[in-house]
Chains A and B, each alone.
Chain A
Amino acid sequence: MTRAAALALAVAVVACTRPGEDRVARDLAVGAATIDGATVDVAGGLAHVRALVPGAVALWAQAPVLELAVELDAAGAWTIEVANALPDAELVATSAAGESIAAAALPAARPTVRAWTLALPAGVTTVRIAPPDAGDVTTPWRFAVMGDIQGAMPEVDEVFARIDAEPGVRFVVSTGDIVDRGQEAEYELFERQLATLDVPFYSTIGNHELFDDVDRWYRRYGRANVHFRFRAVTFTLIDSASATIDPAVDRWLDAWLAEAAGDLHLFGTHYPPVDPVGVRQGSFASRREGQALLARLAAAGVDLTVYGHIHTYVGFDNAGIPAYISGGGGAQPLRLDGIGRHFLAVDVDPTAPRFTDVRVVRVD
């Protein structure tokens, strides 16, 4: 009976053709918070407001550069804390009158937590949090890509240690499946493990984040669809956790693709649109949708695609775009492929502009 009920429920759930629709609404709510006398609005929803109390706001960053508007009814001393920040991030605050507001950096427990105290005037203050090299489009730089930690969470600090040892990595881009069952304890452990990583970790979600209350993700990290630009590279991380992209997200993607035209552009999502091992079908639920997506990415000139879900490393081309599956975060590994835990180190030459190298870094 349980099996029959589960089957009926599964069919009912999957029969919905927009399984990610609710997450679109959740995404739209990210980055905005209000209390009596104070409102915070993060541009693009690129940071989640974890806490907003009189005199203090705490954010979780999902991008290296943040711009936020803080509107106060009354002037006062405020603390702005950003977790998952670049270690060298700086804060610049400007009042509505165009005056600079001095900010004093506070000591923080670890490199990826940055905090400042500043005296904010009444009205709207624009705050920009960015590293000094945010505008540097002449110097080569590097980021890492990884995915699929799941049940290997207790040992993922070993992967993070290897990323820390890799010179020049500015941040990690993740394709999701961080947790295994979506339990609160897993998220708590993840944050303890993340404390060992010296650079920020920007991620979309995978199907495992959906195994339980997905609000656990939203309460901690914010958007599942993330789009930002850093040092001549556009990063677009799209929520395909339901093996499809919601039509509303498709519309965002169209706008983001148009906005990034001519840029060096990385597209990342959890499911490969089309599994390079075709008979396996570890891909979007509809191969047609996957192919249509690839056609759009190719037409928009996307330069690099990264995926997870399949716990291996594969380098291939899709629609003429270099593609990498990197599910080496430690989740039950795919056997017979000769590779275990790993991540990708991606080198960028912003002057070319091109991704000059995508290298597999083995952890095991």
Chain B
Amino acid sequence: MFRVVALGVALALSIPARARAEEAAPVDPAVEVTPGRRALAITAALVPGVIVHGAGSWVAGERTTARRLASAQLAGLALAVAGGLPVGLSGGAAQTMPGLALILPGGGLLVTTWLADIYAAAGGERLGGRPAPPARLEAALGYTFVRDADLPIAHLAAGEATVRVGRAAAQLAAWAGDGAWRARLAAGARLYGPRPDAPAADATAIDVEAGFAHEDRDVSSYAVRSGELIARGRYDLVRLAAPLAGSFATLGLGLGVEQVRYATGAADTGGLVAGRFGWGVYLGAGAGEVELYYEHRRDTLAGGLTPRLPFNGFFGHVGAAASGWRGAWGLAAGLEIGSAYVATLALRWRTVAP
């Protein structure tokens, strides 16, 4: 139960649990995980697992994992309802928007516990994935393709560089192409978790970041400046249960302000919300990772989804990101789906500890 609460709190408040991986959840000795049972467990993780998270783990004999996932799902539901009810009942009153700080972690728990159950049911820990230690320097250079029916932006060159010194980190990221460019400078601190000078057994971490961005959209005759404060957390799920080793959950929450300056001289100032949750797996021994995520903000290239639901109009986009490393060099690829498709491919470089 402690670990369930820890996951909930870690995702909700970005305070990592102190549970230890070696406190492995017991396996039901009566259940032999044959290939047939594994297939049954995966099926159970899908149905009825989509409703009752942990069903797959239960069938695989990982009863403790199942209970923790189900409990975390309930915690997520409670958070989502606690945050969402005032928003829904008020019809989206501005005063209820702080509820997003509960809705997004709640949604994160609801989604990630389901994916984690599928992973556990499939015996994902056998992949033996482990996180890579943070590098002092990282850089990326790549290409971004945008398929947006409404905006004339399609081909972008993109790059970023990150430097980490102790707890501090700074990043410069930019893209340019098709009559628009954007640059973002961010500085942050690692409050908890591994650092280049202090590696750790897992990648559970809490970061805070302040970012400033300028985007010039000559093609559309306006420019945007924004500033934002974001807290991000990563939680290695082995802390929740041993069968989840090699997988992780992420959460980001933040607020920002943007100013749009139009060619006519008029300007608008408005608020921004940054909210993101994801689930992923490590590849090999620090050889990379794959993550599926939901990003709530609609001011990015991907924009937002518009499912035909009664509360249509408030969603962000979904995405997948993958990276693979061989020594100092690596490749990264990503796909985001919102009102536009955004695909990225980048060559990456990092310093490698001796």
A residues with CB within 8 A of B? 1, 3-4, 10-11, 13-15, 17-19, 207, 210-211, 242-247, 250, 271, 274-289, 291-292, 294-296, 298-299, 309-312, 317-321, 332-337
Contact = CB atoms under 8 A, between A and B. Distances in A.
7 contacts: A11-B318, A19-B306, A279-B97, A281-B316, A289-B148, A294-B268, A336-B95
B19 interface: no
A64 B298 CA distance: 38
Given A207-B312, A334-B92, A279 B306 contact: no
B270 A292 contact: no
Interface in B53-75: none
B90 A334 contact: yes
Given A285-B338, A286-B303, A320 B264 contact: yes
B220 A292 contact: yes
Contact of B313 (A279, A281, A294): A281
Contacts of B305: 10-11, 14, 285
Contacts of B315: 285
Nearest to B147: A17
B150 interface: yes
A283 B151 CA distance: 17
A175 to B, nearest CB: 14
A319 B267 CA distance: 6
B307 interface: yes
A210 B312 CA distance: 11
A286 B340 contact: yes
Contact of B150 (A281, A289, A295): A289
Contacts of B263: 295, 298-299
A277 to B, nearest CB: 4
A292 B149 CA distance: 13
Nearest to A274: B270
Contact of B339 (A10, A243, A319): A243
Contacts of B337: 11, 14-15
A14 B306 contact: yes
A278 B297 CA distance: 10
Q: What interface size band does chain B fall in?
A: 35 or more
Contacts of A284: 298, 303, 339
Contact of A286 (B51, B150, B262): B150
Given A289-B303, A334-B90, 15 more contacts: A11-B337, A207-B312, A210-B308, A243-B306, A271-B313, A278-B271, A279-B255, A284-B298, A285-B306, A294-B260, A296-B220, A317-B266, A319-B262, A320-B262, A320-B266
Contacts of A294: 260, 262, 268
Given A277-B271, A320-B262, A292 B313 contact: no
A211 B307 CA distance: 10
Contacts of A296: 220
Contact of A291 (B93, B260, B340, B341): B260
B87 to A, nearest CB: 9
Given A210-B308, A285-B305, A335-B91, A278 B272 contact: yes
A334 B271 CA distance: 19
A279 B274 CA distance: 9
B301 A207 contact: no
B273 A278 contact: yes
Contact of B149 (A14, A247, A275, A287): A247
B97 to A, nearest CB: 5
Contacts, number: 184
B308 A13 contact: yes
A283 B97 contact: no
A281 B339 contact: no
B270 A278 contact: yes
Interface of B: 46-47, 50-51, 89-97, 100, 147-151, 217, 220-222, 224, 255, 258, 260, 262-268, 270-273, 296, 298-299, 301, 303-309, 312-316, 318, 337-341
B256 to A, nearest CB: 9
Given A282-B313, A286-B338, A244 B150 contact: yes
B149 A18 contact: yes
A182 to B, nearest CB: 10
A310 B92 CA distance: 8
B178 to A, nearest CB: 13
A317 B317 CA distance: 28
Contacts of B148: 17, 286, 289
Contact of B271 (A10, A279, A309): A279
Given A10-B307, A294-B262, A281 B222 contact: no
B175 to A, nearest CB: 13
Contacts of B222: 291-292, 295
Contact of B298 (A18, A276, A281, A320): A281
A184 to B, nearest CB: 18
Contacts of A309: 313
A282 B339 contact: no
Given A13-B308, A282-B313, A332 B97 contact: no
Contacts of A277: 94, 97, 271
A271 B97 CA distance: 19
A284 B270 CA distance: 15
Nearest to B303: A286
